[in-house]
Structure 1
């Protein structure tokens, strides 16, 4: 059979979030909510993924390439939302329908639903689950043969009988359909209900009226279909997603010392035998190699970290630290800082838009900006590159095997040759040739008796 089409309903604004941002664009572990079910659908092998948006089309720019967008012109219910995607549906393929606010759905769960649907030969399949407390959920009513007869809603008193309310099997809101049967049934569904909307579950009785079978597919993990309607539910889902992310890394050989105090985004990659210490946050597209130690209390955002790197009590943003680098404590690596193998950024060091050569050390209390430093150089304490003249930024070049003394300022553009030295307290405004000592400071003068004069 053709690969299934997955239709994701996401046209609502999510007013209960109390936000100017659409509900499904709220971030969850580094991804917008909508991209969780989209990713699951793509990983499940969907031939086509269609997201149903509203006329404001605020989702399109946040979706992966290749995902198609349909527009539901008016908020007229879930059935109308699927009908809005009708031109994208192949009548010969299986169609999976899910909501855009169920981020914990997995590729495996979608594959299992499609397999069960296609094996059963049913026109429609409802993913169901059994709950100890099914309050608020639509109940799944089955016929004598065990097939699904209908879904009974329970939102308003009187919607369901006592017998129906005693049913513990509920509708998850996840469906698989034969494409042709779905389109035909949608055309026959009306809005004859209290809300005056077209509901997708009303397709099921229409399929049965046509003599077709509706199958029920039990889901054993109720967290897979948890929805998000407000920020309380978002926090609950985030906790579950975070556990899932961390456990995947742990099973791949990563040690997370304190899962409760660690935050890892969905796209983060971590190598084997790396240790994540307590209080650490790894965000965005951060990649960490093997046998590194990150933390405690470090934050990495879109960072690239090699093997055997140590990052202690530091903040690293869009920076690269190659193998066996040492960072911190209390370092700040800003965008385009690039530390080559064995380089060090020590205590209270800030580096941005600079290359630090192999084995070079910037041990403490220094600012290096817009600079290129060669290998095996040692930058003394409290060095700065004065890179901004008030209008433009300029680069500083410091060669290999250079030794700079404490309190040296390099006023860019300036170049220090290989093997050169600087004197303590110097303000270097001119190039220092290779092997030379650059000193730029006033000669000391002691004023005898100065203290006694002040007293007088």
Structure 2
């Protein structure tokens, strides 16, 4: 018996005023659909079907790009005719899993969590329910459907606009998330009718039909107070971001992470942080990022899809899809572009850019340097202003620098080139061929001085400047 999910992600979200599906709008740097998929995967669901609609190609692209734990398929909802109609599009998926249970949830309600999913499933199975509604108790239930309970579970859901005064006082609300016994859902799904002002098929009508057939319906109250929250416009989306940001920082505070100041701090839902680490203001951690123990993540760092070891110090660093090993010190004003690997004990100073390169153990790249498409050994020293010239306008080539080499200030290493173990390049050299181990490479053109050339070359510029000075003096007089 399988437990699977159908995620409704076909909405346009017109009030978002965006050309992408509503479910792909971001909360803390990740699409709301990613939050929902992650919760389903963390709950151990076997298969997931995403119902797409508006700008469906963007949903396809998103699903193709992510690494999934569960088997994920998608179906198209060509017309947006309500939640019930959306689930109808997953008919074949439901029929293939008719012996199990199906979770139906919204791709734009990001705060569903694995504990809620599994807690509701446990109740669903223990009571042999045809349907179990995930609910939440809220202080202000305005706009939400109210849960009507009876001695056997629930008797239905009443939309806010249809509530009588007694029902308006109910604070238990529908989250829009449901566990169905899949066979029971299929039995009633195509019986629902669009008998409402909107002319839409409401999934909530399935609950009344299941109850009318004598099957049990119940509701699971989530301990997550935000489980029902979604967003219909940019103000609502900002509110979700604020809530997520606060909740995640609170979680890490409870884990003993020190925050010097939370101004501008944003930590993604999938980020991991080790004990003893200190986070300063303006730090953004997102994607599949992990920070080790006893690190200092200094002001204004942006770390995305990057693995950071223990005892690392970062200051004004931007790092993307890279690896930083233990005891590395980087910054300020450093960019690590994708596929950079900084090995143990290395030091990267100010105004350095590294791309698609490995920097060996205890190597020092002090400042004002670009290293691209390079393999650098251990204990290498880079002087100021070094550039690995990796691109000739047509193709890119790699530079290899072996252990213990010393690269002098303002050296250009024109790839493909290899600097041997312990070799030394003289300051100001442009190295165009391999340098043997322990050798000194000096590659400079012979100095040529042409007397009077500059005076002739710069005559017009100098005269223009002198004229400006004279005019300025006259104006002041």
TM over 0.5: yes
Q: Deviations over 1:135-182 (max 9, x none)?
A: 222223344x36422322234xxx343343343333222222333332
Q: Deviations over 1:176-207 (max 9, x none)?
A: 23333322222332222222222122223323
Find the counterpart in structure 2 of residue 377 from structure 1: 380
Match of 2:85 among 77, 80, 84: 80
5+ residue gaps, structure 1, are: 449-453
Match of 1:152 among 158, 163, 183: 158
Change (3 A) 1:227 1:440: same
Change (3 A) 1:408 1:216: closer
The answer on 1:67 being equivalent to 2:66 is no
2:366 partner SS = strand
Find the counterpart in structure 2 of residue 451 from structure 1: none
Find the counterpart in structure 1 of residue 326 from structure 2: 323
Find the counterpart in structure 1 of residue 100 from structure 2: 93
TM-score scaled by structure 2?
0.84
Q: Deviations over 1:315-339 (max 9, x none)?
A: 2223332222221112222233332
Q: Does structure 1 conserve the Cα–Cα contact (< 8 Å) formed by 2:338 and 2:356? A: yes
Give the alignment of 1:36-435 within 5 angstroms. 36-54=35-53, 57-58=56-57, 59-63=59-63, 64=68, 66-89=71-94, 90-143=97-150, 145=151, 147-155=153-161, 159-435=162-438
Please, what is the CA RMSD of the aligned residues?
A: 3.1
Q: Deviations over 1:223-256 (max 9, x none)?
A: 1111122222222222222334334444455433
Question: Distance in 1 between the 2:41 and 2:382 partners?
Answer: 49
Find the counterpart in structure 2 of residue 23 from structure 1: 22
Question: Distance in 2 between the 1:440 and 1:47 partners?
Answer: 63
Change (3 A) 1:239 1:371: same
**Alpha-carbon distance, 1:389 to partner:** 3.0
TM-score scaled by structure 1?
0.87
Question: Distance in 1 between the 2:45 and 2:326 partners?
Answer: 39
- Which range moves more in the overlay, 103-112 or 213-222? 213-222
Q: Deviations over 1:339-391 (max 9, x none)?
A: 22222211222222333222221112222233333322222122222333333
Q: Does structure 2 conserve the Cα–Cα contact (< 8 Å) formed by 1:30 and 1:267? A: no
5+ residue gaps, structure 2, are: 452-458, 460-477
Question: Distance in 1 between the 2:180 and 2:400 partners?
Answer: 65
Q: Does structure 2 conserve the Cα–Cα contact (< 8 Å) formed by 1:154 and 1:160? A: yes
Change (3 A) 1:362 1:130: closer
What is the number of equivalent residue pairs in this alignment?
A: 448
- Which range moves more in the overlay, 243-252 or 342-351? 243-252
Question: Distance in 1 between the 2:236 and 2:47 partners?
Answer: 29
**Alpha-carbon distance, 1:106 to partner:** 0.6
